Chain A
Amino acid sequence: MNKRKVAIVGSGPAGLAAAIYTSRAEIDTVVYAGEEPGGQLTKTTEIENYPGVVRKTGPELMVTMTQQATKFGARIEYETVTDLDKLRSEYDAVILAMGASPRLLGIGEEKYWGKGFSTCAVCDAAFYKGKNVYVVGGGDSAIEDATALTKFASHVTILVRGDKWRASVAMQKRLENYQEQITVMWKTNLKEIQGERVEKLVLDVDGVEKTVEAEGLFFAIGHIPATGFLKDSNVELDHEGYILTQAAKSLQGVKLKVEWPTMTNVAGVFAAGDCVDHRYRQAGTAVGMGIAAALDCERWLNFRQPENSENRIVG
């Protein structure tokens, strides 16, 4: 009997949850961990709202999830998938769970990676001891980054594009304890970075250009789905690049018979987590979607291969 094989693309909560379920169902499972093993949670600090886990760091949670998946036999390959068709030719089914990557502004910031520019304040804050740093963003992660930086930096300025926070009330409250160390500049856009490394920032403050000295620059302006490599595939994406599963299409009001909610328009290709979901984007919801994709995938494999039906696991 040919063993059923599934490839999972991505190693965040969605991918690993799927891997735990498929490998435990004795499906040969390979997880392609990609460029950021463990995903976005590895760039956070404390996790307090993941049910059943009172307090753990993001990396701890992801190390545990990885161990749980490998315990059931899932293999982790530290490679980045670039060709879906090749993967489909090697596996019976594919679960896409690439998540999302930090959004950039496209003002030449890439050449400052490791030279004063970062999208992971939690990772790099300690290198900015006594330095004057800036954070771009107006959401939860901007405040999380700014507060993480206060432990080391001499001063932190948050540049917010609009005139109010997008951040949750809880995070805004957290900011009240940092009035000395954190300044907020509203209606401010970053236009240009100057220097060999980050030295000066050219800002547009409510229509007025202003140049400030800076020793560090952190972006926290959200994420974009990591679906770039699917552009040449047949998998249907929405205009922002999120994967359209049957459930996602049905939610948009497209009338279709939803047979496999987590399946894409390509048979045997499922999707879960932040590469599908632009609404909730929580570790918990990603885990739920990953499990749903794994169960759909398992049942689809059984349905497709009736000779294996004695292995069928219900419920």
Chain B
Amino acid sequence: MAGANTVTLTDQNFNDQVLKSDKPVMVDFWATWCGPCVMAGPVVDELADEYMGKVVVGKLDVDANQATAQRYGVMSIPTVIMFKDGKEVARKVGFAGKPMYEGLIKQVI
């Protein structure tokens, strides 16, 4: 389900890909059975393309990676969390359009 520039995140690679990343990382918590997540997926891929090199954009399937979803208290999806220097700096629960996600990115670049 991920675009060419979207990183597939897992419980295993989350530390290296997100927390140790030298660039800000936008993480989309989603699942195959979440309709709004599936429909919003292409937007996340578009942002991954448009901000390539400035921000890492990744998707984490909460079903397959429950430990990470739990660690960040994700209780509703889609949830997008912006990480910078290994820390959560912004979070948006529910999809509210591309400009809103873009706003999260602009906060950190």
Q: Indicate whether B75 reaches chain A with its CB closer than 8 angstroms.
A: yes
Kindly supply a per-residue 1/0 record for chain B positions 70-88, scoring 1 wherever the CB is within 8 Å of any chain A CB and 0 otherwise. 0000111101000000000
For chain A, what secondary structure do more than half of its interface residues adopt (helix, strand, loop), or is it mixed? Answer: mixed
Pairwise interchain contact B98-A123, C-beta atoms closer than 8 A: no
Interface size on A, residues (CB 8 A): 33
A101 to chain B minimum Cβ distance, whole angstroms, is 11
Of the 9-residue stretches A54-62, A172-180, A200-208, which lies at the interface with chain B?
A: A54-62
Pairwise interchain contact A63-B38, C-beta atoms closer than 8 A: yes
Q: Indicate whether A10 reaches chain B with its CB closer than 8 angstroms.
A: no
B60 to chain A minimum Cβ distance, whole angstroms, is 14
Q: What A residues does B46 contact at CB under 8 A? A: 78
Which B-chain residue is minimally distant from A61 (CB atoms)? B35
Q: Indicate whether B99 reaches chain A with its CB closer than 8 angstroms.
A: yes
Instruction: Report Cα–Cα, A120/B99, bound state, in Å.
Output: 23
A38-B39, A123-B34 are contacts. A113–B96 as well, Cβ < 8 Å?
Answer: no
From A35, A58, A62, A124, contact of B75 by CB (8 A): A124
Pairwise interchain contact A123-B36, C-beta atoms closer than 8 A: yes
Q: Indicate whether A15 reaches chain B with its CB closer than 8 angstroms.
A: no
Q: What B residues does A38 contact at CB under 8 A? A: 35-36, 39
Pairwise interchain contact A123-B93, C-beta atoms closer than 8 A: no
A43-B35, A59-B35 are contacts. A35–B76 as well, Cβ < 8 Å?
Answer: no
Pairwise interchain contact A123-B97, C-beta atoms closer than 8 A: no
Q: Indicate whether A36 reaches chain B with its CB closer than 8 angstroms.
A: yes
Inter-chain pairs besides A11-B39, A59-B38, 4 sampled, C-beta below 8 Å: A63-B39, A114-B79, A123-B34, A124-B75
Residues in chain B within 8 A of chain A (CB atoms) = 31, 33-40, 42-43, 46, 62-63, 74-77, 79, 93-99
| 3 A-B pairs with least C-beta separation | A42-B35, A59-B35, A114-B93
13 CB < 8 A contacts A-B: A11-B39, A35-B94, A36-B36, A37-B36, A44-B35, A59-B35, A59-B38, A62-B35, A62-B39, A113-B93, A114-B76, A114-B93, A126-B33
